Structures are given as structure tokens and as C-alpha cells.
């Protein structure tokens, strides 16, 4: 582990390995939507994580690390009655996000995104009361995933950044979606290049 960190140092800003650093590519965008990424501490350490792309792409974005021993998750900000809380998770009662869904409640949105493997995400969604009460949504349909760094468990599976991009396409417009997808494609390309895979 120690040898790996010396031979593959991380950029202190984007936390990606320096050979795939994307700091030069980020142009943070202002949005009305606030992104709250619930990052499992194991996922945070993975160099294939795409959730942090959305964090760096948006000015109004933050993350909380979960799964840390003795540190309960603080979701107090989700109790703000002036904001509408949407949970990006395919719960049984989840609805496809559309302009019509958004028209039913004009409050600004806090978009909560659990980031981790399926069991990690499902666990936090079931345990946290603030997430139980949130409106569950899924992204509108689109092209097949372009994520080639991990195997998806379902045909409809996609990377976190791809799902966030599609949702923000509805909430903020196509320019925001296009920018996150551009960054995502660049991330995939640079990561594959470090593996010696031509794109």
C-alpha cells in the first residue's frame, strides 16, 4: 500500500492520480440545485470513482463520507423546509424525473446521491430517516453507459456521474448535463490510457 502511494501520487485538488489529473478541465458551474454526495469511505479511495467528477464540476456541491467507525451521518441540512429533497436511487417508489414531476413543487432542489456499491447505497437509504422521507427519483432514459472501467451488474447500470448528469439535464438544462458528460468521457479516456488501452 505504501509503495503504491509513492509510485502513484494523487493530485491534492481533484484527488485523482497525477497521470489522470483533471484540474485543467474543470470549470465549476453555478446551479440552483445543490448536490449532496453520500460517499462511502471505501468508494472514496477508488480511482475509478466518478462521483467526485460531479463534485468538482458544480459550485453548489458537497460530500459527506459515510461508513466511518464511530461517526454517524449528519444529514441535518435535509430538514430545510425551503428546499425539495430528491433522492437519486431506484427505490420501489422511485419515479422517472421529468419536467412534469418538477412542476409539482417549485422549491429549489437538494439532490442526494448515495455513492458506493449497491449494498452500501441500499443500506444508507434504508437506515437514514431523512432519506426514507425524501422523494426517490431515477434518471430519464438515455444512451447506454459509456463507463468502461468497471462491470455493471445490470443492463441499465451507469456510473454515478452519468446518472447525475441526466438528472441535472432536467433540473438545470442541457448545458450542465453536457459539461458533466464531457468531463466523464475525459476521465474514462485518461484512465484507460493509464492502463494502456487505446480509445
Residue 69 has a pLDDT of 75
pTM of the model: 0.85
Q: What 3-state DSSP class applies to 76?
A: helix
C-alpha cell, 70: 464511530
Question: What is the C-alpha radius of gyration for the chain, rounded to an integer number of angstroms?
Answer: 17
What are the sequence ranges of the domains in the chain? 27-140+158-194
In order of 21, 190, 191, the CA distances from 195 in angstroms are 15, 9, 7
Closest CA to 130 of 83, 188, 96: 83
Supply the DSSP symbol for 18.
G
Helix H segments across the chain? 2-7, 41-44, 51-57, 99-103, 118-127, 129-132, 160-171, 174-194
Residue 3 has a pLDDT of 40
C-alpha cell, 27: 470549470
pLDDT in tens, the chain (199 residues): 334 444 568 777 776 777 778 888 889 999 999 999 998 777 777 777 888 899 999 999 999 988 677 777 889 999 999 999 999 999 999 999 999 999 999 999 999 999 887 888 888 899 899 999 999 999 999 877 766 555 554 445 688 999 999 999 999 999 999 999 999 999 888 877 766 665 5
Amino acid at each position: 500500500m505504501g509503495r503504491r502511494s509513492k509510485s502513484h501520487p494523487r493530485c491534492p485538488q481533484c484527488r485523482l492520480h497525477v497521470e489522470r489529473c483533471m484540474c485543467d478541465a474543470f470549470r465549476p458551474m453555478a446551479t440552483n440545485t445543490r448536490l449532496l454526495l453520500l460517499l462511502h469511505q471505501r468508494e472514496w479511495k477508488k480511482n475509478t470513482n466518478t462521483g467526485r467528477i460531479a463534485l468538482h464540476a458544480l459550485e453548489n456541491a458537497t460530500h459527506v463520507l459515510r461508513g466511518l467507525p464511530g461517526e454517524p451521518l449528519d444529514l441535518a441540512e435535509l430538514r430545510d423546509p425551503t428546499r425539495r429533497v430528491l433522492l437519486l436511487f431506484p427505490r420501489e417508489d422511485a419515479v422517472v424525473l421529468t419536467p412534469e414531476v418538477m412542476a409539482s413543487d417549485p422549491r429549489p432542489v437538494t439532490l442526494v446521491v448515495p455513492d458506493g456499491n449497491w449494498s452500501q447505497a441500499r443500506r444508507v437509504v434504508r437506515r437514514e430517516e431523512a432519506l426514507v422521507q425524501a422523494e426517490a427519483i431515477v434518471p430519464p432514459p438515455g444512451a447506454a453507459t459509456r463507463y468502461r472501467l468497471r462491470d455493471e451488474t445490470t443492463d441499465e447500470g451507469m456510473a454515478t456521474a452519468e446518472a447525475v448528469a441526466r438528472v441535472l439535464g432536467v433540473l438545470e438544462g442541457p448545458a450542465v448535463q453536457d459539461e458533466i458528460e464531457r468531463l466523464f468521457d475525459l476521465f474514462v479516456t485518461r484512465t484507460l490510457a493509464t492502463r494502456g488501452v487505446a480509445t
